Structure formats: structure tokens, C-alpha cells
Amino acid sequence: MNMRAEIQRTPAEAAIVDAFGERLSLLPGDGAVMVKRDDAIEQIKAGLPTRRVESWHYTDLRRLLASVPAFDASAEAKPIAALLEGSTLLSIVNGVSAATPSVDGVTFQRLGDKLVDGSYAPALVTYGSDDAVGALNTAFVADGYFVDIEAGTQLEKPIELQNVQAGGQSHVRLPVRVGAGAKATIVERQTGEGAGLASSVSQLLLGDDAEVLWLIVQDQPETATHLAQFKAELGKNAKLTLFVMNAGGKLVRQEVIVKAAGEGADFKLRGVNLLSGESHVDVTMVLDHTVPHTSSTEVVRNVVTGRAKGVFQGRINVHQIAQKTDARMACNTLLLSDDGEFSTKPELEIFADDVACGHGATVTEIDRNHLFYLMARGVDEKTARGLLVRAFLAEVIEELEDETVVEPLEELLSNWFATHG
């Protein structure tokens, strides 16, 4: 620790530490929150993780985070239309929440209030010394929404938690508690304009028999840095489908940390990463199967163009007592340019002996035979390639089945191809 503390700070590290000194008086929180913030900034002072830290091997944050923008109170961002029709929309604009709506069976609170009264302090935990995203967020988090869905509530309308930023910095948290047997669709929208730095931590607690579809849709501008964490814990027979779409950002790290902690729990991760330009997009998952009879599947599909670099790390820990775990992971990449890159690192740590676990990863180019077949029917090369790339991704999206979800996501896909294809 002492040794690390003496390292020469990078401009980004120095900017973060200085910003903390300047912001401190403005950050909400009682004594307990402030203690957490102090611990967190100490962690940052010890240096951002480098490639020598295993979980950051492919994303050397210290090197890649070249600069950090100052907080910008004058930045003007505007909420955008919700992704899914009829959603209850809660926006955070430049890091600041707004008055909350009222929905039967749901309690919304502004997170700033829960920091001020200290009731949120116990939840401000990092998972270890390599949790740079958690530390940065804990140090600076100022707002967000707390959502509490009562047991048994069957939410008809989706809830969209929208984080819009226009340059500067924002640090938000989105804790959501879903009571036993409740059912909901939640959209986490991460968007904005300008060369901002955003950190966002979502914490989902899923009660027994609860069922949630959670969509993370990130389409930050290609100059933005986006550091995000999604943490979830699943109760007995709880079902969580997490769909992640990354369609923007310059430097993106999306961590997914899930615990299948109740028997019968099922977790699905479906990911679509659209990489272009000079972007670096990292999705890192750590999934723990801690009890017997839980299941999980992860399917991640990536399209890489330009000089972009992508990373998927998937670590599945099957604990010793977690017999009958069924876990499957697949990561498939379509490399559309010679200069693009994608690194996949699956890791299975299995301590139980009666389990079914597997993983597979492929990196391919467009199938020439498929291309020939389409062209032989008169489809020009560009259109044919577009069809094949979209088909590769559509398989993951269409699995969501619900048309009201599939269609808007496919539209986002079309928009991306219209500008990057």
C-alpha cells in the first residue's frame, strides 16, 4: 500500500484526487457515507488498476483513462423518449435526479436523499482492491434512484432509469429491490453527448420467485468514458434476464456481478456489443452459483469494425455445495475489419462435482458461402453483408420474444448500422 501510494500519479488519477478535494463539500452524505467516500478515494490514490491486475488484464485502466473532464454544472442535457412504449420514465440529467412519479406497488426515492440521511451508507461497498469502478463511484456518487417493488406486484409498464449526461462527470447509483413473486421490466439507459466521464452502479435484489427483465442500453458518444457495474443477487426460483447492449462510448467497462443465491434461481445474460472507431469496450462478468440447483446461460455477440477493441471476461464460480449447477457460456465475435480486435476470457471455477458447465468462444468473419448465396440472388454486397451481420445479432435479440422489447432494440441496431455499417 505504502509503496503504491508513492507512485507517480497519471494526469487522470491526479484529476480524480483533486476533484475529490474540490467536490467534497458538495457531496451529499452523513458521517457514515463520508467514511465510505474517504476509504474509496484512498483506493484510487493507490493507483488505477493496470494490466497486471488480473481482472483488468485486457483493459489497462491506468493507461487507457488518458484524461478526466472537470465537473461541469452548466452542461445542458435533456431526457430522451423512453425506449419501450408506455414506460414510467425516471431521468437523471447530468447526475441529478428529478421528482419521482407514483406507481402502485412501487416506491421511488431520490438517492441523494438516502445519502443525506445515511440510510444508503451500508450499501456502499466495494468488492475488493481491484474494484476501481465501485471505488470511483462510491467516492463521488451524488444521486440516482432507489426503487422498491412490493412483493407480488406484477408491473405492467416497464420502468426506465435514464442517465443522460452532456460532458463533465456524473456518478450515479440505481438500487432496485424486487419483492417476492413480483415481476418487472427495467430499462437502464446510459446515454448523452460530449466527452464526459460517467460511473454508474446498479444493485438489484431479487426476492424469491421474482422475475425481472433488465435491459442495459448504452449508447454514449464516441468520446465518452463509461464505467458501470451491475450487481444482482437472486433468491429462490428467481429469474433474471439481463440484456446488455453497448452501442457507443470511447472507453467502456461494464461489469456484471451476479450471485445465484437461492435454489432454483436462473440467470440469463444476453449481450450485444457493437464496436466501432477507436473504442474500447469491456464486459466483465463474475457469476457465483452458491447453492444447489441453479442455472445460468450467457450468450454474448460482438461486431467489431474500425480499430475497435473488445473484451469479454466471463468467470463462473460454482461453489462446493452448489451441486446440479447448469451453466453455459458462449461468446461469438464477428470481426469486420483487419484492425479490430476482440479478446475473450472464459473462466470456470468449479468446486462441486455434480454439475453441467461449458463454454465456447468463436471469432469469425462473414461466411463467404452465405455472402455468395445472397449475392447470387441479386442482393448487392453491402446489403448482403448488412443482412448477415444483423442476422448474427438478431438471434440474441429475438430470443427475448416479447415484440414490444425486440422491435425497439432492433431499431437501435438499425440506427447503429445506418451510422457505422
Partner 1 sequence: MLEIKNLHARIAESGTEIIRGLNLTVKAGEVAAIMGPNGSGKSTLSYILAGRDDYEVTEGDILYNGESILEMDPAERAAKGLFLAFQYPMEIPGVATMEFLKVAMNSQRKARGEEPLKVPDFIKRVKEAAGTLEMDFNMLKRPVNVGFSGGEKKRAEILQMKLLEPKLCVLDETDSGLDIDALKIVSDGVNALRSPDRAIIVITHYQRLLDHIVPDTVHVLYKGQVIKSGDKSLALELEENGYAGIIEEAA
Smallest gap from residue 227 Cβ to partner 1 (A): 32
Instruction: Give the amino acid at 153.
Output: T
Smallest distance, partner 1 to C-beta of residue 398, A: 8
- Residue labelled with grid coordinates 464526459: 196
Q: Considering beta carbons, is residue 177 or 370 the nearer one to partner 1?
A: 370
Name the site residues for partner 1 (rule: CB under 8 A).
368-370, 372-381, 383-384, 387-388, 390-392, 394-395
Nearer to partner 1, 84 or 396 (CB): 396
Minimum CB–partner distance for residue 382 and partner 1 (Å): 10
When the beta carbons of 119 and 297 are compared against partner 1, the nearer one is: 297
CB of 366 to partner 1, least distance (A): 11
Please identify, using beta-carbon distances, which residue of 376 and 418 lies nearer to partner 1. 376
Alpha-carbon span 40 to 26, nearest angstrom: 17
CB of 376 to partner 1, least distance (A): 5
Provide the 3-class DSSP secondary structure of residue 35.
Answer: helix
**Nearer of residues 322 and 413 to partner 1, judged by Cβ:** 413
Which of 27/375 has CB closer to partner 1?
A: 375
Tell the smallest beta-carbon distance from residue 84 to partner 1 (Å): 23
Distance CA 130, CA 134 (A): 9
Residue closer to partner 1, measured from CB, 363 or 388: 388
Residue 269 CB, nearest distance to partner 1 (Å)?
19
Report in angstroms how near the CB of residue 388 gets to partner 1 at its nearest: 7
Q: Which is nearer to partner 1, 116 or 388 (CB)?
A: 388
Q: Where are the beta strands (DSSP E) in 224-294?
A: 225-234, 239-246, 251-260, 266-275, 280-289
Least separation, in Å, of the C-beta of 301 and partner 1? 10
Closer of 67 and 383 to partner 1 (Cβ): 383
